[in-house]
A and B are shown apart, each in its own frame.
Chain A
Amino acid sequence: MDNKENFDLNGVFNEHYQYCVNWLMAHLKCQKQDAEDCFMDALVKLQMQVKNNTFKQINLRGWLVTVAKNIYLSTKTSKYKIIPIDVDKAEAYLSEQKGIYDASFNPLLKTEILNELKTDEKNRIAAYQKAYSNLGAACKKILDRLKEGVKLKNLTEELGYASYNSLKTTKARCLKNLKKHTLNLMNNKN
């Protein structure tokens, strides 16, 4: 886990899966699939920190358990639910669309969120997905890296921008285009 080149997410997953899932089930009294889901969320966070060179842990297993536990508790509460479509909602919908939920993996917390999703919210997520696939190469390059959790400031050099501000301007333009295409798609559908 010293650097991002040597990082093996599947290796970490296999090594800590059993312990972390059992620990979460025992301490949170939650069902196995919720524990698995939160454990995977912790792995996503780990991967992002590794990509941004901000992961400086000495106890990986303890970190994974703590992060997964906090994710479970914050998903259960509604503190951060202030925008119509947040990450949890979008994830619940996209997981269903991509066939991730089945008999062996069907986390209760996410399926509850999925049941609450309104039709117009589902349509909006689908429209964003479609509009995103039609974006230009330059915009996709930036947004692909952002969606992987790489911080914008770390992309200036990687993507060859003269300054952070010019990258910020381009990103804003890309998001504006994406929104415009999404709205067009939704209007045409209606």
Chain B
Amino acid sequence: MDREFLLEQYLMNELNDAEWHQFKTLIESDEDFKDEVEIRSILFADYKTDLKKELLKNRPVVDEAKPKIRTLLRPIFGIAALLLFGVLGLLLFQLNDSVDLNTLTSQYISEAPPSPTTLMGEHERDNLNLKAAIEAYQNEQYDIAAGFFEKIEQPGNLEYFYLGLSYLYQNPRKNKKAIENFEKVIESPNNFTEDALWYISLSHLLQDNKIEARNYLNQIKKTSANYNNANRLLKKINQKI
């Protein structure tokens, strides 16, 4: 494979597993290549920082204006606010704790993740069906989206993951089919594994399969965005089993 291509993919954070393996082998065996990766990384970082500096200059102002409070009164307000937050926090904690497993599951599943991105990387995709599937998914026409995802020849992890979601968010939900597709995604590690573990857990919970859900939730890594929520669900499941 072309070294330049591998380097560009690396800088863009778009190496797939096979490319990553080749890239790593090259780094370990070819000192010139390793040097070039380092130089190009620095150059790219230089460009990125200039661009970010410009963007930050035009950062939209978020309304964070605070009312002017007399200096002497500030500590009193501060203490009062702390007490108020403390009481509110306690109340919220008790309220959250009283939320049952089904409510929590419904809460976590209420919002469908954003639609998939298309045509990323150099992979060959069935773009016509994928485009139609994404459009339908975006419009929350999950049954139509599932139909198009099903039509895609040689589906990959992206297609299986969003097909699973399309089944999960249909009305009525098709949990079993969703699970079948999420299972395909988690067969081997990839970009969608962590999210697939999360949604397969939720799909099992919707079917009241607590044991299966627990098995999948336990596999969610600390680095995953769903880790804290997974832990919360695990606590609730363990109280029930």
Contacts and interface: CB of A to CB of B under 8 A. Distances in A.
A94 B55 contact: no
B27 interface: yes
Contacts of B58: 10, 13-14
Interface residues of A, number: 69
B49 A152 contact: no
25 contacts: A17-B60, A18-B60, A23-B114, A27-B225, A28-B225, A40-B55, A45-B12, A45-B13, A57-B117, A59-B115, A62-B115, A62-B138, A71-B13, A73-B225, A80-B15, A83-B27, A84-B38, A85-B38, A87-B11, A87-B45, A87-B48, A95-B49, A132-B43, A148-B47, A149-B44
Interface string A77-99: 10010111111111100110010
Interface residues of B, number: 53
A66 B10 CA distance: 18
Interface in A100-156: 100, 105, 125, 128-129, 132, 143, 146-149, 151-153
B69 interface: no
B162 to A, nearest CB: 11
Interface of A: 9-10, 13-14, 17-18, 23, 27-29, 36-37, 40-41, 43-45, 47-48, 54, 56-59, 61-63, 65-67, 69-71, 73-74, 76-77, 80, 82-91, 94-95, 98, 100, 105, 125, 128-129, 132, 143, 146-149, 151-153, 168, 175, 178-179
B117 A67 contact: yes
B56 A100 contact: yes
Interface of B: 4, 8, 10-13, 15, 20, 24, 27, 34-56, 58-60, 62, 114-119, 131, 134-135, 138, 191, 194, 223-225, 228
Given A28-B225, A58-B118, A175-B35, 4 more contacts: A59-B117, A152-B4, A152-B8, A175-B36
- Tell me if B's interface is mostly helix, strand, loop or mixed: helix
B13 A66 contact: no
